[in-house]
Amino acid sequence: MENNKVRVMWAGIFLLLGIFTGIAFIAKEALNFESWLDANLVGIFWASSWSAFGIAGGLWNSRINKTEKLLQHSHYMTYFIFVWFISTMASLLALSKSHLASALVGIAVGFTGDALAGLMHNLMK
């Protein structure tokens, strides 16, 4: 079976985005921000990194999917940016419990974003 090139491309983009924000999280000591901004920014880097990894995993997992109407939809990629935002917010909420809980929430919400897109597309038919 042939891979869906659009999904593979966006999986790679979100993987790179996750790696970039993960590196920013690791390099937090090099950033010289005020203490309150530093703590919030580091949390955002952590949450957005794991959310991007979750979305990349979900897109890679569905790379065989050939839903042509979903691919032609003009808001397809905007949807995944929205999923990244929602997943990051959910991960930030879980960050108050622990970093592990935050990472798991980010991955789970991001990973299921693609399945939710397919469900929404089927409901809108």
Say what percent of the chain tops pLDDT 70.
74
How does residue 18 score in pLDDT terms, banded at 50, 70 and 90?
very high
User: The domain containing residue 28 runs over which residues?
Assistant: 5-123
Separation CA 122–CA 100 (nearest Å) = 34
- Residue 9, C-beta contacts closer than 8 angstroms, at least 6 positions apart: none
pTM greater than 0.75: yes
Say yes or no to pLDDT of 125 above 70: no
Q: Is the pLDDT of residue 34 over 90?
A: no
Judging by beta carbons within 10 Å of its beta carbon (0-12, 13-18, 19+), is residue 3 exposed, middle or buried?
middle
* Counted domains in the chain: 1
Q: What is the pLDDT of residues 57-111, one digit of tens each?
A: 888 887 776 665 555 555 667 778 888 899 999 999 998 888 899 999 999 988 8
